[in-house]
Amino acid sequence: MTARGTNPNFLNGVPELLILCLLADETMYGYEIVQAIRARTGSVVAVGEGVVYPVLHALEADGALRTKRKSVDGRSRIYYSLTAAGKRRLARLTNDWTSLAAAIRGVLKGGKDAQSFS
Amino acid sequence: MTARGTNPNFLNGVPELLILCLLADETMYGYEIVQAIRARTGSVVAVGEGVVYPVLHALEADGALRTKRKSVDGRSRIYYSLTAAGKRRLARLTNDWTSLAAAIRGVLKGGKDAQSFS
DNA sequence: TTGCCATACCTCTCGGTTCGAGGTATGATG
DNA sequence: CATCATACCTCGAACCGAGAGGTATGGCAA
Render pLDDT for A76-98 as a digit per residue (tens, 0 to 9): 999 999 999 999 999 999 999 99
| Mean pLDDT along residues A56-78 | 95
What percentage of residues in chain A have a pLDDT greater than 70? Answer: 84
Asked if B22 has any chain A CB less than 8 Å from its own CB, the reply is yes
Tally of CB atoms within 10 A around B67: 13
Cα-atom radius of gyration of chain B, to the nearest Å? 17
Which residue does chain B place closest to A105, by CA atoms?
B98
Q: B11 and A8 in contact by Cβ < 8 A? A: no
Q: Which nt has its C1' nearest the CA of B53?
A: D9
Confidence of residue B53 (pLDDT cuts 50, 70, 90): very high
Asked if B61 has any chain A CB less than 8 Å from its own CB, the reply is no
Asked if A18 has any chain B CB less than 8 Å from its own CB, the reply is yes
| Mean pLDDT along residues A100-117 | 76
Residue A70 has pLDDT above 50, yes or no: yes
From A72-76, B60-64, B88-92, the region with the lowest mean pLDDT: A72-76
Nucleotides of strand C lying closer than 7 angstroms to a protein CB = 7-12, 15-23, 26-28
Residue A8 confidence (pLDDT): 52
d(C-alpha A85, C-alpha A62), whole Å: 9
Query: Is B44:B51 a contact under the CB 8 Å cutoff?
Result: no
With the C-alpha atoms ordered A26, A32, A37, A40, is the resulting torsion angle positive or negative? negative
d(C-alpha A32, C-alpha B41), whole Å: 36
